[in-house]
Structure 1
Amino acid sequence: MAEVAIVASAFGAGSIWRDGHAAWLGATKTAGAGAFEVRRELMHDADAQRGALRALGTAIAAADLWPVWSTPDTLYADDGALNEAELRLAVESGRALGARFVKLQLGGFAGEAHLARLAAVLEELGVKGTDNAAPNAPRVVVENGQLEQGGKLAQFTALFRALRAGGEDKLIGMTFDIGNWQWTGEAPLMAAVALAPNVEYIHCKAVQGEGARRFARAPAADDPLCRAALARLPSDVPRGIEFPFDEARMQEDAARNVAWLASA
């Protein structure tokens, strides 16, 4: 059985904005999940300060869950430069929260020129790689997004190829979002085969609509794409629910989907 995280937005962005993340920890635990993904874009600025994040992390631990810290900031700027300030802020915020993963978007990675600096910054922050990170350090992972910049398979294969060539293949990991590839016209199954060795966290959702008017939805129990992608990805990494639950029966739907994703 895979470990399942619930992404805060699954309870509805409006609900998170109104009630705060902590209000949904009980529902997450009752649904059978083991983790809760905190979204920076659904927080007021005061709630993203270090003290508030430490308090939220304490509440998450008290609910017998572990947190993921997710930010829409990108690891690389549009011109390919390393976004050092955003990376430092993400790691420091994740550390305050007690996060297992700190998730950023990839952004404009275009070559290996800044990889040495990335390694130096991560080492300075105590989160370099899996073998030489500080105890209880958050793991930095990059996610394929819904935009062309940071959402193309070629960027990710180039990133991990460059890391391997430089002897830094474990420097950072990947969050593989099954649905997001469809926004950028990529084949999720091809991406799963190419990137599986680097995947440490999976976002699961189905997609409806066309073009820019696509929306996340719950996969059907026999959804062929999600099942085929999961079969090609590591089976021992956490899987996150990033599709909206049915508002009319939120708790029941959350429990059903956690059970489905754990065994899919």
Structure 2
Amino acid sequence: MTDAAEIAIVASAFGADSVRTAGHRKWAEASRRAGAAGFEVRRELFGYEADAAPSRLRELGKQIAELGLWSVYSTPASLYMEGGRLDAAALRLALDEAVALGARLVKLQLGAFAREAHCHAIAAQLRGVNVRLVVENGQLAQGGSLSQFVGLFDALKREGHADVLGMTFDVGNWAWCGVSASDAAAALAPYVEYVHCKVAVGEGARRFAAAPTVDDARFADVLRRLPRHVPRGIEFPFDAACIDEDAARRVAWLAAA
């Protein structure tokens, strides 16, 4: 299929405890068997802090590349601190770790962006770094509001560095913030470079991530509004009773959706 979307699998889809116990390599191998093109490494799922050391990351990156996969490096750190200040130290650490891994993308949370993007400082850190920076909409009001992301990309244009970073659009996370994912997709599609695919089910404290159904019209509408040429990451949990079969089925479905 010539217009098939490129699919990555987020490590957490295999279960957080399973990744912390067995390590990322095992699940990168499972991702390859499922037919994925990429694999997202999650910093918070390392079993030990030493796993984030440059030598460990280089080894993991080599293993992922040998499987024929490209990688995403995800950190729970935020790009902006309280008051809208750039967290330059968090950005530097994330970039250094992503470069050691050999990642294609490095993903941070947006955090407390206010009005200034500080894009010149970001551009300075990115100079000579062969990894693309993307920020993700989170599940909290701070870092998960549509107005913040619209404001961010407006600020980047205003400050003269519109292309300094892109967006990871998490379809399911908008539900935690009471935002229509379709509305967000319509507003932010030009800036989206990676899509996290999941839906939210339940309400309030009982809301959790789940797999979209094949006939989910709202999920399909969101995908139609987003660019098809950007990779899609599976972040919803696989069926633990038949992980390999479920992963392969979901990869094939999402590539064609």
Q: TM-score with structure 2 length normalisation?
A: 0.96
Equivalent residue number for residue 89 of structure 2: 85
Q: Write out aligned runs for 1:194-233 (5 A).
A: 194-233=187-226
State the one-letter code of the partner of 1:40: R
How far the C-alpha of 1:115 sits from its partner, in A, is 3.0
Give RMSD over aligned pairs: 1.0
> 185, 190, 200: which one pairs with 1:192?
185
Say if 2:20 is the partner of 1:27.
no
Q: Write out aligned runs for 1:56-135 (5 A).
A: 56-112=60-116, 114-123=118-127, 126-127=128-129
Equivalent residue number for residue 7 of structure 2: 4
Give the Cα–Cα distance (whole angstroms) in 2 for the partners of residues 82 and 166 of structure 1. Answer: 14
Give the Cα–Cα distance (whole angstroms) in 1 for the partners of residues 224 and 160 of structure 2. Answer: 28
1:70-91 Cα deviation digits (max 9, x unpaired): 0000000122110000000000
Give the Cα–Cα distance (whole angstroms) in 1 for the partners of residues 44 and 28 of structure 2. Answer: 18
Find the residue that maps to 2:246 and give its secondary structure.
helix
Q: Which moved more, 1:192-201 or 1:159-168?
A: 159-168
Preserved contact between residue 207 and residue 215 of structure 1 (Cα < 8 Å) = yes
State the one-letter code of the partner of 1:84: A
The runs of 4+ residues in structure 1 deviating greater than 3 Å are none
Give the Cα–Cα distance (whole angstroms) in 1 for the partners of residues 207 and 27 of structure 2. Answer: 26
Find the residue that maps to 1:169 and give its secondary structure.
coil
Equivalent residue number for residue 251 of structure 1: 244
Say if 2:51 is the partner of 1:51.
no
State the one-letter code of the partner of 2:54: R
Preserved contact between residue 29 and residue 65 of structure 1 (Cα < 8 Å) = yes
Q: TM-score with structure 1 length normalisation?
A: 0.94
How far the C-alpha of 1:113 sits from its partner, in A, is 6.1
How far the C-alpha of 1:8 sits from its partner, in A, is 0.2
Give the Cα–Cα distance (whole angstroms) in 1 for the partners of residues 88 and 227 of structure 2. Answer: 30
Find the residue that maps to 2:84 and give its secondary structure.
coil
How far the C-alpha of 1:119 sits from its partner, in A, is 2.6
Preserved contact between residue 217 and residue 243 of structure 1 (Cα < 8 Å) = yes
1:21-72 Cα deviation digits (max 9, x unpaired): 0011221011010000000000120111100000000000010001100000
Preserved contact between residue 205 and residue 243 of structure 1 (Cα < 8 Å) = yes
Say if 2:173 is the partner of 1:180.
yes
Find the residue that maps to 1:70 and give its secondary structure.
strand
Give the Cα–Cα distance (whole angstroms) in 2 for the partners of residues 145 and 182 of structure 1. Answer: 10
| Percent identity of equivalent pairs | 59
Cα distance 1:204–1:120, how it changes in 2: closer, same or farther (>3 A)? same
Give the Cα–Cα distance (whole angstroms) in 1 for the partners of residues 117 and 173 of structure 2. Answer: 27
Aligned residues: 253
> 149, 154, 160: which one pairs with 1:161?
154
Contiguous gaps of at least 5 residues in structure 1: 128-136
Give the Cα–Cα distance (whole angstroms) in 2 for the partners of residues 213 and 169 of structure 1. Answer: 38
